[in-house]
Structure 1
Amino acid sequence: MIEILTNRLMLIPCSLDIAKSLVFHRKELEQRSPIEFPLNWPSPYVKGFLPYYIECLEKEDEESYECGLWLIIKFEEKKIIGDILMQGKPNKEGIVELSYHVDELFNDESIAYEAVDAFIDWLTYHKSVKKVIMECSIAQNQAIRLYNRLGMICSKKDGEILVWEIQKKDLQ
């Protein structure tokens, strides 16, 4: 299984077994896992995505794990603190859309930056992704600061939604 390691974090793709356990056997998963699953994780957005994700993983091969839900784990504490959702495989132009969520207790900007930056680096190196797109509302000041810090550019405003993108220069 792939692991992306940073100074404080480990990012791993959510396996079919973990996804199914989150939906159908959460209490047993919490008891058996060496990793702590916070009560407020996954986010409502990811909870709604899990049935679709499970269905896709059952139809596809193991490589599909890389193109879906990733767990952000603070490895010193052995605790899931958030997730990154890769919304499908990169298209033929090398473009992929991401979203992220970090638990409120750990949601300092440095943790989110460390996780998203490491994930984008992995995508551009291992998956030949040329452009990453992320969205936020105009009221999400923390996300806007994060995207600016990552070097992303706001490319579009659609009502209350801002669309951000980053292109890796070395892949153009």
Structure 2
Amino acid sequence: MIEILTNRLMIIPCSLDIAKSLVFHRKELDKRSPIEIPASWPSAYVRGFLPYYIESLEKDDKDLDCGVWMIILYEEKKIIGDIVMQGKPVQEQNVRLTYHIEEATTDGSIAYEAIDAFIDWLTYQMAVKKVVMECEVQDKESIRLFDKLGLICTKKDGEFFTWEIQKEEE
């Protein structure tokens, strides 16, 4: 299993078993899991996305164009957020990311640490050339985060900004 480790975090893909348990057996998962799972996790976006994700994993879809990743605060053994990756990193070399960090843990540095590590892994292990993220125009925290990560705002579409970072060609 893939593990992305930082000083405080472990970022791992959400397995088929965990995804199914989140949908069909949440109470049992909460009781048996060695990792604390907050009642507010997964995010609303991921909850809506899980049926498609489960179906794709059950088909053993090798061309799966998405992935749900769990952000775990390692020392506390607690899930604090998620990252959803859409795109085919190996084929198209670009992905779209969406993230959510539990509000109780948002000091800004956790989100930076998680997204920075994930982008590093994507660019070095998966040969991704471009990462795209979006945020609402009034989402000052995400705007600061994306700017700090080195993403560039490339488009404004209504109430949303599109941000991108591209790996330099060598």
Q: TM bucket by the smaller chain?
A: over 0.9
Aligned residues: 170
Q: Does 2:64 align with 1:29? A: no
Partner residue, 2:42: 42
Partner residue, 1:128: 127
SS at match of 1:77: coil
Q: Does 2:120 align with 1:144? A: no
SS at match of 1:69: strand
Q: Using the alignment, how far apart are the partners of 2:33 and 2:61 within structure 1? A: 24
1:134 to 1:54, Cα distance in 2 relative to 1, 3 A: same
Q: Using the alignment, how far apart are the partners of 1:18 and 1:35 within structure 2? A: 12
SS at match of 2:79: strand
Deviations 1:28-67 (A, max 9, x none): 0011110000011111111000000000101125785x94
Q: Using the alignment, how far apart are the partners of 2:38 and 2:128 within structure 1? A: 31
SS at match of 1:68: strand
Partner residue, 1:11: 11
Does the 8 Å CA contact 2:53/2:66 hold for their aligned counterparts?
Answer: no
CA drift at 1:94: 1.1
Q: Using the alignment, how far apart are the partners of 2:137 and 2:48 within structure 1? A: 23
Q: TM-score with structure 1 length normalisation?
A: 0.94
CA drift at 1:87: 1.4
Q: Does 2:105 align with 1:106? A: yes
Q: Using the alignment, how far apart are the partners of 2:152 and 2:62 within structure 1? A: 33
Cα RMSD of the aligned pairs, angstroms, is 1.6
Q: Using the alignment, how far apart are the partners of 1:79 and 1:61 within structure 2? A: 29
Q: Using the alignment, how far apart are the partners of 1:8 and 1:91 within structure 2? A: 28
**What one-letter code is carried by the residue in structure 2 that aligns with 1:88?**
G
CA drift at 1:80: 0.1
Q: Does 2:163 align with 1:164? A: yes
Query: Unaligned regions of 5+ residues in structure 2, if any?
Result: none
Query: Unaligned regions of 5+ residues in structure 1, if any?
Result: none
Q: Using the alignment, how far apart are the partners of 1:149 and 1:60 within structure 2? A: 37
Partner residue, 1:115: 114
CA drift at 1:90: 2.4
Q: Percent identity?
A: 68
Partner residue, 2:58: 58
Q: Using the alignment, how far apart are the partners of 1:88 and 1:63 within structure 2? A: 10
**Which 10-residue stretch deviates more, 24-33 or 52-61?**
52-61
